[in-house]
Structure 1
Amino acid sequence: MNKGELGTALRALREGSGKEAKAVARSAVMSASKLSKIETGAIAPSITDVDRILTALGVSEAVKTQYMAVARAEATEATAWRLVRRMGHYRKQQQTKALEAQMRLLRLFQPALVPGLLQTPEYIRAVLGRHDLGADQLSRTLGVRIERQAVLYDRTKDLRFVISEPVLRWRILPPPMMALQLDRIISVSRLPNVDIRIVSLAAPQTDFPNHTFVIRDDRLVTVETVHAELAITDPRDVALYIRKFDGFAGLALAGKEARALLATIRDEFLREQETGEAPGE
C-alpha cells in the first residue's frame, strides 16, 4: 500500500468494521463529506486525519502502526492558515482537542504567547482578535478553546510547558488583566500532572528560541509559522525537537522558583495599574 491507496484502504477498514461513515466522521472530528473525499481519493488525508480515523475505527495497534507508517511517507506537512480560516478556526480547535484527548504526554515550548491551554478567556479573545473573526466564529472558537482546557485536570496525562520570560511581559492585555493571566498560570502550575517552567532572562543561554512548537507523545511535532502550521513525524526530526525542549527545560525555573518569578511580574503589573507608571519609568 502506498500513500495514494490510503483512502481506499481506510474505506475498506471502515466497511469491515460495520461502522457508518457519519459516525466515524463525527468521532474523527471531520465532516462526512471530507471523510467521503478521503475514502474516494479526491483529497489526500493528512497525518492527523489518518490518526483520528483509525482511532474512531478502534483498530489494533498493529494495524494503526502499519497505516500511520504509510501516512508518514512524507515527513513534514504544511497547512496554510488561509485553509484554516476557510475551514473555520473553531473546527481547528476541535481537531486539536481530539489530538489532546488521544495523547498521554504533551511538551510545549512557547517563546511568543501564553500557551492556549493556560490562557484566560480575556487573553484568548485578544489573541483571536487578530484573525478578524465574525461574532459567531469568535464565540464558537472561544468556547472550544476553553473546553480544551479540561485536559489540564486529566491526571492520566503528563503536561509539560516551557515558557520564556518575555511571554509573561508581552502586553497582550491591560495590566490588571495581565495580572489575572499570571495568577491563572500560577494556579495551574500546582496541578500534580502539570509542569510549568520559565526560561528566565537572567539565565545564561546556549540555545535560541526560534519558534513555538508542540510535541505530542514522541510521534508528532506541530510548529506554527507565519503562513502555516507544520506537522512533523519523522522520528529523527521529532528527536531534535525533544532535545531542544529538554535543553530549555533543564535551564528553566520550575516549581516554587517559577511561581516566584510569575508572582513578581504579576505584582509589577498591579503596581503599574495603581501608579500609572510602567516598570522602569
Structure 2
Amino acid sequence: MTRETAIHPSSVIEPGAQLGAGVRIGPFCHVGADAVLGDGVELISHVAVRGATTIGAGTQVYPMATLGAPPQNTRHKGGRTTLTIGANCMIREGVTMHVGTDTSRGATEVGDNGNFLAYAHIAHDCVVGKNATFANGATLGGHCEVGDNVNIGGLTAVHQFVRVGDNAFLAGCSAIVGDVIPFAVASGNRAKLRGLNIIGLKRSGLPRAEIYLLRRAYRTIFDRSRTVAENVELARVEFSGSAAAMKIIDFISSRGKRQYTVPPLKGGAVDDGDDED
C-alpha cells in the first residue's frame, strides 16, 4: 500500500512544485515552484530544494541539505538550468548539489542509488554515475564526470573538469587534479595511482582471469620505458578481448588535449594491488 503524502505545517511548498505519491516532508523544509519530487521521496527536516530540481523516487534527504542552488560560477547569467538526482539515493546532513550553468552544459546529473555523506558537495554541470559513494566532505569542482560504482573518501577534493572512471576508488584527504582511470586507486595531495582497486573488482564479481588480464594491461599502459600514448596502442592490440582493459584504454584515448591522466606513484611499484584471495 502506498503511503499518503504528508507535509509538516511548518514547511513551505511553493505553488507549481510537483509531489509524487507518498512524499513525506518534515518540519521547516522549503520546496521551490520548479521542483519535482518523485514517489516516496522523504525530506526529513530543514531541507531546501531550489531551482529546477528533480529528485528520483525513494530518495531520502537529511537536515540542512541544499539541492538546486545556483552555481558558484561567475559566468552564470541566471538562466534556467537543472539538477536531476536519481532514485533511491541517500543524501545526508548538509550536502549541497547545484544546478548547471547557462553558459555550459546547463545540467547537473546524479545517478541512482548514490550515498552522499555529510557535507559532500557536487558542483555545477557535473555528471555522477550510479552507485556512487561520497564520504563526509567529499567535493567535486564544476564540470566533473564521475562513472558508476565510484567511491570518494572523506575530505577528498576533485578539481574542475576532471573525469573519474567506473569503479575507481579515491582515498580520503586526497587532491585529485587529473583524470583517474577506471578500476584504479588514487591517493595523495596531487594524487597518484596506487594500483588497481582489486577488492572492489572482486566484490563486483569480475572473474579472476579478467582481473589478471586487467593487471597486465595496467602494467603495459604505465610501462615507463615508453610513452603512455605508445603503451595505449600496444595494449589496444594485446588486450582487445578484455572488455575491462578496453574500458581503461578507451578512457585514456578519449581525453581532451588539455586533460591530464593521473599516473602511478614514481619510485613505487607500477601495480601495488593485491590479487590474493
TM-score by length of 2: 0.28
Q: Tell me which protein shows more strand as a share of its residues.
A: 2
Greater RCO structure (CA 8 Å; 6+ sep): 1
Q: Tell me which protein shows more helix as a share of its residues.
A: 1
